[in-house]
Amino acid sequence: MIDDISPTATWEAVSSRPNAWLVDVRTPMEWEHIGVPDLSGAGRALVLDSWQLPPAGQVNPDFVKTLEQAGIGKTDEVYFICRSGARSMAAAHAAYDAGYHNVFNVADGFEGPPDAAGGRGRLAGWQASGLPCTRG
């Protein structure tokens, strides 16, 4: 079972434990146009590793390889984030199956659910929690 962890608890883990990593599994277009979590204030680097590849959304065949290349150890804590928590949960399961057993899903992702007007980033998630991020 993969646990959902709040964005705030994720920030606390990644900013205080050197063996904790945040992996953004969204697409390059999302990183560029919407923004990404900013870990620079904690002296850490965000790992960018798309779970699905545009335009068809097929699973990235190099997903686990990118985790390895980033230097993430099999016993490290790995927190996966996407837009709202669905892709990151799938990515966390894939990482678990590849031997990463301390994996977590960031609840509500970077943008969270849409509000009544269809906008995101205001109700829940990394942005709504007021955590450091770059804006696209």
In a domain? residue 67: yes
CATH of the domain at 62: 3.40.250.10
pLDDT at 1: 86
- Span 3-23, pLDDT tens digits: 999 999 999 999 999 999 999
pLDDT at 25: 98
pLDDT at 31: 97
In a domain? residue 107: yes
Placement of tokens 């849409």 in the chain: 114
Beta bridge partners, 59, equal 52
Instruction: Please compute the mean of the pLDDT values over residues 34-56 and round it to a whole number.
Output: 96
In a domain? residue 70: yes
* Domain limits for position 40: 1-127
Instruction: Provide the 10 A C-beta neighbour count for residue 132.
Output: 14
pLDDT at 13: 98
**Host H or E run for residue 135:** strand 133-135
Question: Into how many domains does the chain fold?
Answer: 1
- Span 47-106, pLDDT tens digits: 999 999 988 999 999 999 999 999 999 999 999 999 999 999 999 999 999 999 999 999
In a domain? residue 136: no
In a domain? residue 132: no
pLDDT at 129: 97
Intra-chain end-to-end CA distance of the chain, in Å? 33
Strands 103-106 and 35-37: unpaired
pLDDT at 135: 82
In a domain? residue 133: no
